[in-house]
Chain A
Amino acid sequence: MDKQLIISVGREFGSGGHIVAAKLAEYFGLPLFDSNILGDIAKEKNTSEEYLRKYDESARNLLFSRTVNGFSNSPEEVIAQMQFEYIKNRADAGESFVVIGRCSDYILRENPGLVRVFILGDMDSKIKRTAEREGISEEKAKSRIEQHDKRRKYYHNTHCDTKWGDSRSYDITVNSSRLGIEGTTELLIRYIELKNA
């Protein structure tokens, strides 16, 4: 691919956004960045990925962290910044990739090759998918969805001026419950191809 293409996929928990992102990456032949970038960061820093994974996609706790002379001691904040830097460096180097979450819709907003996607879903279908995938009751699935979405929203809104899930923050927002995973993927492929034509 000559032209740089970066697909940023924001998603609601249980909406199938991760699967859609993986399919997009496969179709366009691009690497997929999600929590796996922590492995690269850990290797680069000569440390263990395990240390970093605990704080992935979490926002700092205001009461339990402080900043002194620009040094924040919130592990969540530091790890978020490491990931932002990683994604930004790759984008600045002209690489094409698909990135899931990690405020990439905002961090890479200046990049002309960026396509910002947000995938949502109806609560019923999200509950069904989560319960099946994780082998838990629907009640538990609902509470897990609410918990994860709350955390993602707080994480995103802490680091960005734009709002998580707000259609104005993205190029396209799709409800995966309408077309299913395959249909949503197809729609997005058409959209990206048209946009890049």
Chain B
Amino acid sequence: MVLSAILAVVVFVVMFIMSARDRLSRTAAMGMSALGTILLLFGTFMGLSNDESGLIAKIVAVLIFVVMFVLIIMDKIERHIVTLCCGLATLVMVFGICMKSIDAVWETLNVANIFTPGFWYTAGSAEESSSGINWATIIFIAGMMVMVEGMAKAGFFRWLCMTLAKLVKYKVIPLFITFMLMSAVLSMFIDSITVILFLAAVTVELAQLLKFNPIPMILSEVFCANLGGSATMCGDPPNIIVGTSLGYSFADFLTNTGVIAGISLVFVLVYFFLIFRKELSEASKNNIDTSKMPDPKEAITDKRGFIISIVIFLIAVVMLVTHAQTGLTVAFIGAVVAVLTLATSGKSCLELLKKVDYKTLLFFVGLFVVVGGLEQTGVLVVVADFIGSISGGNALLMVAIIIWISAIASSVVDNIPFAATMIPIIKTLSLTTGTSLDVLAWSLSLGTDIGGSATPIGASANVVGTSVAAKHGYPIGWGRYLKACVPATVIVLVICTVSIFIRYGAELGIY
């Protein structure tokens, strides 16, 4: 088994070097891939006969996870295809061949959960099974996607941006502050990709009309979108996953991560104003005739649809804020807003459905299965034990490790798979070390959400913001991005760490 694994690795390494040097034809590459795969499969089968401890299952699950992460980072194959293929490999190789456990397959697919009343309505804690596919997250995100598409189609976001710009009389510094605040507030309820997509496009448009460089404003908006997303359960995908997996409500997030995000926002506003004040002050000196600015009303493409979309958005906000009291789960809320949007959209119903980002939903499905493989094989318990041992059972150190490691990891890799992987780990950590799960959960949420802001590839909002800027002729290089956002990320992470130590001092044994 070991021999065949070594041979497979040699084949893959030779293939990689040859292809890097461009000395590999397509046929040779296919032949070598097939040979490597056969060797790997052979090794796995051989190893199975002697896999009492489940070691092979663990190794295969980790290998699949690593391959998935590398392929996501390489970005050569669409990420939903990567996670779905790796998910399928987990089902077949880990659960089927290695573990021979049909129960593990069902537990990971988690489909039966959707048909239980508790999935849609629960009077008490709304805890989802954290193992396998988190359907509540997927249904909620799908529902919000439909709602946001409806709002965008009616012209809501452009209207809001233009109205606020008009309210501050198109003055650059107030516009800068207003757009940062709007980015943070909207991202609390709507996915940050949509928020930045519209905000960055309007920022560039206004920048061209008012003759200022939009890059400082876009960078600040992106940062605030990520910060705003960390404040609520539905603001950022990692929070939705943490919330649905561990049974937290919207209010739980708002009163814990929300408060810390609010404090951080004040510092962030001051920080960005200070670092960009020179450029902003120069732009303020431009004498522009604002009477020729576009009228916000022009942004509304359909008046009836516009009003309906605002009403549905408000219903969603009310349902989210009160869901701990009403017992409605986020899956139910997602389904309701989607049905309401589709039912009131008339002829545009199909168009809205077509615009839903199914690739992201499929990405989630595959991802949850791969993480389920790590969980079922017990790999995550090993990781949790490792974190527990290096922190020596010190709760403060554990919290600091979770915040900072999550932040560093999320700044370079997608924070969604990272958060999904970390949830079972913090659960185990809490059980084995007695550290409060709540504190670990808030640390994880803040670390993954904030860490993503540090680099242009850390979070989806950063990618979309920098992409929109580049498409309009304002490319943002890594140097420019890091110079502005790394200090801001560090400031916010320090605030988060200190706030958690102070607020949860009793749970952490400080006082």
Contacts and interface: CB of A to CB of B under 8 A. Distances in A.
Interface string B460-478: 1011101110111111111
B476 A68 contact: no
Contacts of B359: 69
B52 interface: no
Interface stretch (A25-33, A41-49, A123-131, A135-143): A41-49
A68 B73 contact: no
Contacts, number: 74
A98 to B, nearest CB: 25
Contacts of B466: 73
Contacts of B464: 68-69, 71, 73
Interface residues of B, number: 28
A71 B208 contact: no
A78 B457 contact: no
B467 A78 contact: yes
A167 interface: no
Nearest to B457: A66
Interface string A29-59: 0000000000001100111100110110000
User: Which of under 10, 10 to 19, 20 to 34, or 35 or more describes the interface residues of A?
Assistant: 20 to 34
A106 to B, nearest CB: 17
Contacts of A78: 467, 470-471, 475
B456 interface: yes
A196 interface: no
Contacts of A66: 75, 456-457, 463
Interface in B27-49: none
Contacts of A67: 75, 463
B463 A71 contact: yes
A73 B196 CA distance: 13
A65 interface: yes
Contacts of B463: 66-68, 71-73
B470 A75 contact: yes
B56 to A, nearest CB: 31
A117 interface: no
Given A51-B473, A54-B477, A46 B208 contact: yes
A79 interface: yes
A1 interface: no
B419 interface: no
A47 B76 contact: no
Nearest to B78: A67
A57 to B, nearest CB: 14
B357 interface: yes
Contacts of A55: 475
Nearest to A153: B22
Given A69-B357, A78-B467, A62 B74 contact: yes
B193 interface: yes
Interface in B354-381: 357, 359-360
28 contacts: A42-B473, A46-B208, A46-B473, A47-B474, A48-B473, A52-B475, A54-B475, A54-B477, A62-B73, A62-B75, A63-B74, A66-B75, A66-B457, A67-B75, A67-B463, A68-B463, A71-B463, A73-B457, A73-B462, A73-B463, A73-B467, A73-B476, A75-B470, A75-B475, A78-B470, A78-B475, A79-B475, A82-B471
Interface of B: 73-76, 193, 197, 208, 357, 359-360, 456-457, 460, 462-464, 466-468, 470-478
Interface of A: 41-42, 45-48, 51-52, 54-55, 62-69, 71-73, 75, 78-79, 82
Given A46-B473, A62-B75, A71-B468, 4 more contacts: A41-B473, A63-B74, A65-B457, A68-B467
